[in-house]
Structure 1
Amino acid sequence: MCKRFFSASAPIVKKKRGKMPELPEVETIVQGLKPKLAQQKIRQLRIYDSKIERMLVGEYLSGRRIINIRRRGKYIVFELNGDLDLIVHLRMSGGLLYQQNEPQSIRWVRAVMKLDDGFLIFQDRRRLGVMELSHSRSLDLRLGMEPLSSDFNSDYLRQKLAGSKRPIKVFLMDQTIVAGIGNIYAQEILFVAGVHPQREARSLNNNEIRKLVKATKSILAMAIKHQGTTVSDFQNADASEGNFQNFLKVYGRNNKPCLVCGTVIRKIKLQGRTTYFCEKCQK
């Protein structure tokens, strides 16, 4: 049962626009939650937002055990007994926080999961996040290759690139082809690979494809090591912030010198998304 609805007329707090958590941020959250939540029982799910209430019935989850927590693309998947998955997508400003004590304030809180030990809080300032039930593994059928898997290789990418006239940055962000890459990491990957974001995907040669695969794996792995990128809303499950923003080579560096060649970094709009690149380093 929904305890409290958000008011549509509530005052809007002006804040820097959120950035959607991508693969490294979601993986960081999963790694933080997994040792704390795996094998715990859900005692109660309290829903504080009518949107979430329409997606799932809280009472249906009571008593179910969390068998495993994993990431698929940008989604957090709670595998439950009974061949069910509770799927969470944080969207622009969502977050999952685990704490021992029940939250004292429910501002921005959309749902609270009471567990055997502690509470999992789903907070979302902009109310764009998703929490829904699904049959086990159904999400896997909708998403493309995991870029950190061994199956994401030059052969796979070459096959997908063939015939595509889309800009390579847009191609990389297609979740049905590569699951988990968004605006920030697409730019960082292309910079390291030396590929211009506006290049037609089909124009990449074999050497550039190999560099793109290598850059994808290295950038994502490094970002996970540094617990993701915090540029506005992102927090880990313990409320700590990421650190990879201190290692970004091109994103957000408009009119600043390229860290490799000194050329001024340019900013353009590519299919509505802000895109940064170096004209000299990226061809």
Structure 2
Amino acid sequence: MPELPEVQTTANAIEKYSKGKKISYCNVRKNKLRWKLQADLSQRLKNKKIKSVSRRGKYIIIELNSLYLVIHLGMSGYIRISNNLTNILKHDHIDIVLESNTVLRFNDTRKFGMVFYSEDDPTQSHPLLKKIGVEPLTRNFNKKYLYEKTRNRSVSIKNFLMNGDIIAGIGNIYASEALFDAKIKPNKLSKNLTRKNCEELSSSIKKVLKLSLKKGGASISDYVNVDGNKGYFQNNFKVYGRAGKPCYTCNYIISKITLGQRSSFFCKKCQK
């Protein structure tokens, strides 16, 4: 699933190409993704001007005049920006066609994505968005916040980090990589983190996310950026997907365990 860096990279590119432009029309080829699309989606988007594009958690929010369009990439979704109205690929489900025929094209192989409009600011009104936790690249996410939130939590720190109601946008990849950087094993109970652990982990999360943003995100399956190219952060993985391979730091073999039905990768020697 695309995580914070991939979604932010996509949102930044959409804003670059579309801010200030009007939507000429919307072409829906598949009216059901994770949920059924609103029947009047195309009608409501027509002639709306794009004011800004932002991200909240793993959601892309396109602010229009008097409306908001919300996109979640799901497990396998991505958006391409094209000037070709006819080069349709398999699983290209929605086209948002702007003036001058620039197309925002949503592709989703597994159909777990979401596209919907909201009359009100969805970050304040929509049940899926208003409960999202703190953004990890803001000042509100720090060692104090992490320490307070982990008290009395008997869940593993890996699963804690992936709880979007506590911290926004962190999934399997970045939880694994940040924990390695902070030298904390993924199955350590959250409540057992020390203040020092929380200081190092909050710093590592910011460090790993910022590096991935510079690399255009990670492409390990379907994800590509808006021009169809892959991100490069997968070339910087220290533990994710490296089970059975030597640790770059100590040469010990990287281990793989399952936490919350998700694979977790770590170095038994470096992470305690």
Q: TM-score, normalised by structure 2?
A: 0.94
Q: Which moved more, 1:99-108 or 1:231-240?
A: 99-108
Structure 2 partner of 1:55 = 37
Structure 1 partner of 2:162 = 173
Q: Which moved more, 1:43-52 or 1:166-175?
A: 43-52
Which of the numbers 81, 105, 113 marks the counterpart of 2:88?
105
Q: Deviations over 1:107-145 (max 9, x none)?
A: 211111111131110111111111011221335522100
Matches within 5 A, 1:96-245: 96-117=79-100, 118-134=102-118, 135-136=120-121, 137-138=123-124, 139=126, 140-245=129-234
Runs of 4+ in 1 over 6 A off after TM superposition: none
Q: Deviations over 1:225-261 (max 9, x none)?
A: 0001111111001111100111100001111111111
Matches within 5 A, 1:272-283: 272-283=261-272
Structure 2 partner of 1:3 = none
Structure 2 partner of 1:24 = 5
In the TM superposition, residue 148 of structure 1 has moved relative to its aligned partner by 0.2
- The whole-number CA distance in structure 2 between the counterparts of 1:233 and 1:223 is 17
Query: Counterpart of 2:37 in structure 1: which amino acid?
Result: M
Q: Deviations over 1:198-237 (max 9, x none)?
A: 0110100010000000000000000000001111111001
Query: Counterpart of 1:128 in structure 2: which amino acid?
Result: F
- The whole-number CA distance in structure 2 between the counterparts of 1:125 and 1:231 is 15
In the TM superposition, residue 105 of structure 1 has moved relative to its aligned partner by 2.3
RMSD: 1.2
Are the aligned partners of 1:250 and 1:276 in contact in 2 as well (CA < 8 Å)?
A: yes
Gaps of 5+ in 1: 1-19
Are the aligned partners of 1:144 and 1:175 in contact in 2 as well (CA < 8 Å)?
A: yes
Structure 2 partner of 1:251 = 240
- The whole-number CA distance in structure 1 between the counterparts of 2:32 and 2:161 is 30
Query: Counterpart of 1:203 in structure 2: which amino acid?
Result: N
Gaps of 5+ in 2: none
- Tell me the number of residue pairs that the alignment of Structure 1 and Structure 2 aligns: 263
**Corresponding residue SS for 2:181:** helix
Structure 2 partner of 1:80 = 64
- The whole-number CA distance in structure 1 between the counterparts of 2:10 and 2:87 is 22
Query: Counterpart of 2:207 in structure 1: which amino acid?
Result: S
In the TM superposition, residue 55 of structure 1 has moved relative to its aligned partner by 2.3
- The whole-number CA distance in structure 1 between the counterparts of 2:86 and 2:96 is 11
- The whole-number CA distance in structure 2 between the counterparts of 1:281 and 1:142 is 35
Are the aligned partners of 1:146 and 1:179 in contact in 2 as well (CA < 8 Å)?
A: yes
In the TM superposition, residue 106 of structure 1 has moved relative to its aligned partner by 4.6
Q: TM-score, normalised by structure 1?
A: 0.90
- The whole-number CA distance in structure 2 between the counterparts of 1:124 and 1:166 is 32
In the TM superposition, residue 71 of structure 1 has moved relative to its aligned partner by 1.0
Query: Counterpart of 1:41 in structure 2: which amino acid?
Result: K
Q: Deviations over 1:141-174 (max 9, x none)?
A: 2210000001101111111111111100000000
Are the aligned partners of 1:32 and 1:238 in contact in 2 as well (CA < 8 Å)?
A: no
**Corresponding residue SS for 2:36:** helix
In the TM superposition, residue 104 of structure 1 has moved relative to its aligned partner by 2.5
- The whole-number CA distance in structure 2 between the counterparts of 1:127 and 1:72 is 21
Query: Counterpart of 2:36 in structure 1: which amino acid?
Result: R
In the TM superposition, residue 50 of structure 1 has moved relative to its aligned partner by 2.3
- The whole-number CA distance in structure 1 between the counterparts of 2:78 and 2:86 is 14
**Corresponding residue SS for 1:70:** strand
Percent identity (aligned): 38
Structure 2 partner of 1:14 = none
Q: Deviations over 1:86-115 (max 9, x none)?
A: 111111111111111213325211111111
- The whole-number CA distance in structure 2 between the counterparts of 1:268 and 1:151 is 31
